[in-house]
Structure 1
Amino acid sequence: MGLLFENPEEELQDLTTDILALDENERFTSSLELVHERLLGEDGDIETIQAIAPNVNPERIQRLMDVVLGEINQGLYGLIDSHRNAEIPTALLAAFVALAAGIDELDSDALSDDNEEQVLSSMVALFCRLQRLVDADETSDESVRILIHDVGATLYYVDKALDDESDFPSPSETDFETLRASVLEFGAAVAYANMPISIGRGAELADCSRFEFESVLEDLDIEVRRGPSSVEELHNDGTGILNE
């Protein structure tokens, strides 16, 4: 961005502020347009960036995002494994898994141009929210609430872009507790599917009962494991004397 702006850090902050000021639907469906305007100008096009950076192309960017999202997810698994209270990592895991699914579809013919823009706009919107959270001196209950709301919006809009309808609740039509439950249940299910944790730990991450979490797993076609399958899994469960 230094090639395009005299003060890239200030420009990034201004762009983040302007994107977060958009109404929710516009932020998660068309914020990419605002990014294009800032990078290219009103009369610019993609050839402008390619002339400045000829090695930048959509395929290369997609491969990079696959790697970045994969690394982020691995980091979130680590945080979930090492922290008893893992609400934020569990929520972010839900969002980044959804974004990864969207990124994987960008080079297929399955998505329309509008749906591709919606996936990328959702990614832009979420990263702007995370940027603002990182910039804050401390994490407040309200900032966590806003973040979880935006994660819920990410799930809704990405899923809607992929399938035209979303299995996740619309954030504009859903109360916060219902939205939070859908976010944490999905994030916990992803963690359960990819980590050696028990039903009990999964339910704890989802902030629901074991019975409710089993129902979530069944709805997502994730096999329910009955008890630890190894000594290592027992040790990594995050419960009991071994993990005090």
Structure 2
Amino acid sequence: MSGPVGVAHGASYVLKGFTMWRRRPGLMLLGMVPAVLVLVLIGAALVLLVANVGDLAGWLTPFADDWDTWRSVVRLGLALLLVGGSAVLAAVTFTGLTLAVGDPFYERIWRETERMLGGEVPEGGVGFWRALRDAGVLMLAGLGMAFVLAVIGFLPLVGAIAGAVLGFLVSARLLAGELVSRPLESRGLDREARKAILAGHGSSVLGLGMATQAFFLVPFGAVAVMPAAVVGSTMLVREILESAEAAG
């Protein structure tokens, strides 16, 4: 599927992921623990940033000290972009760190999902150190994206809006890529093989990430959605694999 239909299709898998609460509520509850721990750490960092963003914006724009009205406009825009860019970094960092810290819990969740779907359950796994490395890669990507958003923020009028939309979409794509990589890597597929399998399913994968990312905008939504997103991504990967097998 492609286009809006594919996006909606991928997004529906996050909602399907919540159905696992009926089957294994204890396991899903356990999957929220690492999300809570990481959320507390990242939340504290964001609160500290918001409390000092005005001073930081002023420190970064000494050239605007004599701009009168425009000084406030420029610094307000920069402050919004600093918060927005930090939110992007927080989102990808949250996902990577949560999956790394909670890898044993999430591995149990996706294996249970594989068993629920039937067929052979793959024996491979990502492992803690690989998950930690992936978290580092996501953090670097988030830093790069935060820088791009800061540059976009200097565009007159549309900068803040364009930066927020772009940040949401890029965060969603990075998030989805991390989620679907685990059930694929457990089958021994390398990067090139994963790209080949996912070719033609980009909209569905993006929809999965967008729906998960949308929960991040709701207080404590990130904690609630992580176990469901692991289940939903495993379901989506299974569908994609079965589609590829059927196609030949």
The TM-score normalised by the length of structure 1 is 0.32
Of structures 1 and 2, the one with the larger relative CO (CA 8 A, separation 6+) is 2
More helix by share: 2
The TM-score normalised by the length of structure 2 is 0.31
